[in-house]
Structure 1
Amino acid sequence: MSLWFPRLPSDRVLRARPVEGPFALTRKEKSADRLSCLNLAAERQGLSRGMTYSDARAFCPDLQSRPADETADQRFLHVLRRWATRYCPWVGLEGRDGLVLDITGSAHLWGGESALLEDMRRGLVRAGLTVQIGLADTRGAAWALARHGEGVAQPDEGLARIAPLPVAALRLDDETCTALQRLGLRRIADLAGTPRATLTRRFGPGVVLRLDQALGAQPEEISPLAEPPHFGVRMTLPEPIGLAADVMAGAARLLDQLCAKLKTEEMGARTLSLTLRRVDQESQQVELRLARALRDSGRILPLFERGLGAVDAGYGIDQMRIEAVRVEPLPVEQLGHVAAKRGDALDDLITRIGTRIGLENIQRFLPADSHIPERGHIIAPAAWSRPEGPWISLRPRPLRLFPPEPIAGTGPRPPERFRWRRMALTAARATGPERIAPEWWLEDENWRSGMRDYWHVETRQGRRLWLFYTPQRPGWFVQGEFA
């Protein structure tokens, strides 16, 4: 059985945000936005795939559009593949917009092929998807029927059912199809009546192979996608245990097995769940969220100590299970003896503190690309960021920044005497000015006064302040203090 979703990308978007009227997805191609997928209303307006977006709007002014997302489309197709396994275990992908199923031995569970097709079509239509279904005794014939004349071919009428279809229904490339049509071979029936030696000599063995696959003379298997690996191990104990040392020893054995699986798949665990089942059938879970993806059991095991200390073993624990709930790619790296230990201690410390106050509450400052003092950094969770990027500034910046505080002063140079926070200060040395203009593409109420001239002022009282002057609206302000 072959399932073809001719409007898969647009159906996916419209499922989440329905739109009344013509709708299309656009993709950037050669410096022009072109239509990549349309709904039925847009096709009825005369629009087609590959048309430029400007031409489409000229034909259909009320056309609504959104950018295409091929990654999301493929994720959605994988979701449909998983859904289709309810009908049979052998489900594979057919290109970027189709599925192929081997329903041999599964149709009787649904009351026959007709009932299975009806149930499948009803479910897909209810989900808002456009689908064309082809059913035959070969994969090639089912593909041809799904895309060139939806229907069912009985085992004894394979050639008769697909004979009127164009040669493109044999999954041939466009160049080969064009060459066949120039010779007058437009339908599969014309191709089947042509001597095979002539076809092979002119077009190679590919055309004859596709024809034999559609007619069943050559076998063609379905390769279903493998299920994603499950990162979980468990251990049943012959006798219940209750001591913390015994539980840690059991967890160590499970972690060794789990980390071996993770290493094989080149993955690392970010969230681990340890389930302890007691003899009274009650279970307790200990969750560990890591600051970095790990698969080193020696580093992970000590991080479980605090969580296991709060476990009530009751009359004993007879089963232990540990699972990597969340994993991330962690490819093998060639590291030196210095680089391997560079960030391990900090990551483990963040994990230990995060188990108490939450990983989201441990944050770090990261440099940002802005010359505005307030925007020169961002705050990000330490567990999901790296201290990357150099802190580069052509002029020194104060250690402490605070909202601008006005002081008395006139003229473009810093005042020699002023009061700030109830302190009388006298300027000893002033360095500047450093003119900073506002970022006009961003709205910021604090910078509506225009550009600022910043000065580094050292006072006789020991204060080292960061002052600025606003030429447009004359005034002096203190915004920071150096260490």
Structure 2
Amino acid sequence: MFDGIGRRVVSLWFPRLASERVLRQRPVDGPFVLTVKQKNADRIYCLNKAAEQQGLHQGMPYADARAFCPELQSRVAEPERDNGFLHLLRRWATRYCPWVGFEGADGLVMDVTGSTHLFGGEAPMLADIRMRLRRAGLSVQIGCADTRGAAWALAHYGEGTAPSGDMLSALNALPVAGLRIDDDISVALQRLGLRTIGDLVGVARAPLTRRFGPGLLLRLDQALGAQFEEISPHADPVHFAVRMTLPEPIGLLSDVMLGADRLLVQLCAKLKSHEVGARKLCLTLRRVDHDHQQVELRLARPLRDPKRILPLFERGVAEIDAGFGIDQLRLEATQVDPLPVQQISHVAEGRAGALDDLITRIGTRIGLENIQRFLPADSHIPERSFLVASAAYSEPVAGWNSPNPRPLLLFPPEPIAASGARPPARFRWRRMSLTTGRATGPERIAPEWWLEDENWRSGLRDYWRVETCEGRRLWLFYTPQNPGWFVQGEFA
């Protein structure tokens, strides 16, 4: 049996983590809430202390909250940024101990065994944590005990410190919800008259297990120290960066490129060991006057080949102002994507790599997001038969199969004056008088009835390829339901 003696665990709970993260950047006077859309209704996701004093609570419909508090200010919640902020807090907490993990979406757990003497004892360490977090504008509730479960319960329901070796006396008066159990189990226990953890300890275990399962008593034993519970520290993400400090300043383009080459060899070896490739690289050059120059490179594909990456840096490095010389180079992969080891072919790999390098070179001048490619879409409607995607974040896809040719240039339908179901012998289009030389068709295309499209409400379309005597090769269509002729494309 594990009694937990000698082990000390600290639980940090941030009850207003999301709202205080936003208010740290943009302070607001008065009630403030973050909202999230749930079941077609905006509800309160997190709120500040002023909003709580107005009677608002988490999960409350935002419309009701505005009725109670007309001066309420709000913003849309961003859970991903809140999670990133919690990761930063976890990294900060390692200043107190190396074993720091996450406790849900708004808390941290720390195994401070053997670390408290570095801060003058347990109480001074907890006071220092509270002071630093308060200075950062964060509300925190702290619990300290021999077990993880007891520390969590104290942080959430009875902020304080449990004496070592006596968890029952510290948890005796706390509600059963402090055992980290589901809400429905907590409500059921309260209906049975078991409102506190002390009430639960005195009840026979077999009936509780039959009714609520083994999880309830497992949580009780973990909190009291009868069952061991691990604290798994969260590993820091791998940092892909290398640095070189020079004994003498350099300033020539060839010297900087030689230094970048050596850094690339080291960085790519590290990328290969983790089976990832760089998508964004940042080369930082420190001058002797402590000014920094940066060259950012965005790659069209994940890469870890130094020979292919190095020439792509040359244009950016050539524009750097070396000043009185550069004494330090730092290369960092700021964004990486998975790139597992795979068998390559000498037949096609060179062509694919050359295209990716070309996209990267053009992207450094006009932006990768401005280089696009067309991809086939599963639709027989001309306007929906293709997708426009970023060339750097998509792969060319085969499947441009059509029984009839499609024009290279497609534009919104432009009406022309004509009558009859066959292409007109003469017509005017874009202030040009054109004569039909040859017409091929019709190709009948029906609308997709399951989609609402204002442009296809006229019904069927009969498409014709019309070659004019003036040299224009146009794509015309006729609408039988509402007779009319239109030009929608032009062949090369």
Distance 1:478 1:144, change over 3 A: closer
Q: Is the 8 A contact 2:381 2:445 kept in 1?
A: no
- Evaluate the alpha carbon distance shift between residue 114 and residue 364 of structure 1 in structure 2; reply closer, same or farther with a 3 A threshold: closer
Aligned residue in 2 for 1:299: 308
Q: Residues 226-237 of structure 1: matches in 2 within 5 Å?
A: 226-237=235-246
Query: Does the alignment pair 1:112 with 2:124?
Result: yes
Q: In the alignment, residue 152 of structure 1 is paired with which amino acid?
A: T
In structure 2, relative to structure 1, the CA distance for the partners of 1:21 and 1:389 (3 Å cut) is farther
Aligned to 1:466: 475
**Change beyond 3 A, Cα 1:425–1:192:** closer
- 1:202 alignment counterpart: none
Tell me the residue number matched to 2:397. Answer: 388
Q: CA deviation at 1:369?
A: 4.4
Change over 3 Å in CA distance of 1:238–1:132 after alignment to 2? closer
Deviation at 1:348, TM superposition (A): 0.6
Instruction: Check the 8 A contact 1:10/1:24 in 2, yes or no.
Output: no
Output the amino acid matched with 2:466: V
CA shift digits 1:54-88 (9 cap, x unpaired): xxx9x99x99xx99998677556435534655776
Return the match for 1:426 from 413, 430, 436. 436
Question: What is the CA distance between 1:346 and its match in structure 2?
Answer: 0.3
- Give the partner amino acid of 1:432: P
Conserved? CA contact 2:436–2:466, under 8 Å = no
Q: Which of 367, 372, 382 is equivalent to 1:358? A: 367
Cα RMSD for the two superposed structures? 5.4
Q: What is the rounded CA distance, in whole Å, between the counterparts of 1:39 and 1:318 in structure 2? A: 49
Question: Which amino acid in the other structure matches residue 430 of structure 1?
Answer: T
Counterpart-to-counterpart distance in 2, 1:252 and 1:394: 51
**1:301-450 to 2 correspondence within 5 Å?**
301-338=310-347, 340-388=349-397, 390-420=399-429, 421-437=431-447, 441-442=451-452, 444=454
Is 2:285 the partner of 1:276? yes
C-alpha deviation, 1:100, in angstroms: 0.9
Moved more, 282-291 or 158-167: 158-167
Correspondence for 2:152 among 127, 143, 156: 143
More relative contact order in 1 or in 2 (CA 8 Å, sep 6+)?
2
Shift of 1:257: 0.8
Contact 1:27/1:67, CA 8 A, preserved across alignment: no
Structure-2 change in CA distance of 1:84 and 1:441 (3 Å): farther
Residues 38/336 of structure 1: CA separation in 2 closer, same or farther (3 Å cut):
same
For residues 403 and 118 of structure 2, the distance between their equivalents in structure 1, rounded to whole angstroms, comes to 72
Asked if 1 retains the 8 angstrom alpha-carbon contact of 2:434 and 2:469, the reply is no
- Contact persistence 2:34–2:76 (CA under 8 A): no
Deviations 1:214-266 (A, max 9, x none): 45688766433222222111112234444433332222211111111212223
Alpha-carbon distance in structure 2 between the residues aligned to 1:380 and 1:477: 28
Query: Any conservation in 2 of the 1:4–1:132 contact (CA below 8 Å)?
Result: yes
Pairwise mapping of residues 48-127 of structure 1 onto structure 2 (< 5 A)? 74-75=83-84, 77-82=86-91, 84=93, 90-102=99-111, 104-105=116-117, 112=124, 115-116=127-128, 119=131, 122=134
SS at match of 1:412: coil
- 1:48/1:428 CA distance change after superposition, 3 Å: closer
Specify the code of the residue in structure 1 equivalent to 2:441.
T
If the length of structure 1 is used for normalisation, what is the TM-score? 0.72
Q: Distance in 1 between matches of 2:224 and 2:381?
A: 70
Deviation at 1:466, TM superposition (A): 1.2
Give the TM-score of the pair, scaled to structure 2.
0.71
User: How big is each residue's C-alpha offset from its partner over 1:23-77, in whole Å with a ceiling of 9 and x where there is no partner?
Assistant: 986778xxx99x99898999x999999xxx9xxx9x99x99xx999986775564
Deviations 1:146-205 (A, max 9, x none): 345444324475331123446775568999999x99x99997557878999xx9xxxxx9
Mind listing any 5+ residue stretches in structure 1 that lack a counterpart? 200-204
For 1:250, the equivalent position in structure 2 comes to 259
More moved, 209-218 vs 466-475: 209-218
Q: In structure 2, how many angstroms separate the alpha carbons of the residues matched to 1:233 and 1:86?
A: 24
Deviates more, 1:417-426 or 1:66-75: 66-75
Separation of aligned partners in 1, 2:406 and 2:346: 36
**1:20–1:308 CA distance, 2 compared to 1 (3 A):** closer
Tell me, what secondary structure is at the counterpart of 2:342? Answer: coil
Whether the aligned pair in 1 keeps the contact of 2:415 and 2:484 (CA below 8 Å) is yes
- State the distance in 2 between where 1:167 and 1:353 align: 63
Structure 2 residue aligned with 1:287, among 296, 310, 317? 296
User: Using a 3 Å threshold, how does the CA distance of structure 1 residues 379 and 109 change in structure 2: closer, same or farther?
Assistant: farther
Aligned residues between the structures: 469
Question: Is 2:471 aligned against 1:455?
Answer: no
User: Does the C-alpha gap of structure 1 residues 105 and 404 become closer, same or farther in structure 2, counting only changes over 3 Å?
Assistant: same
Q: Mark the CA change 1:117 to 1:157 in structure 2 (over 3 Å): closer, same or farther.
A: farther
Equivalent position SS for 1:293: strand
Measure, in 2, the Cα distance between the counterparts of 1:460 and 1:151. 91
In 2, the alpha carbon distance for the partners of 1:75 and 1:305 equals 34
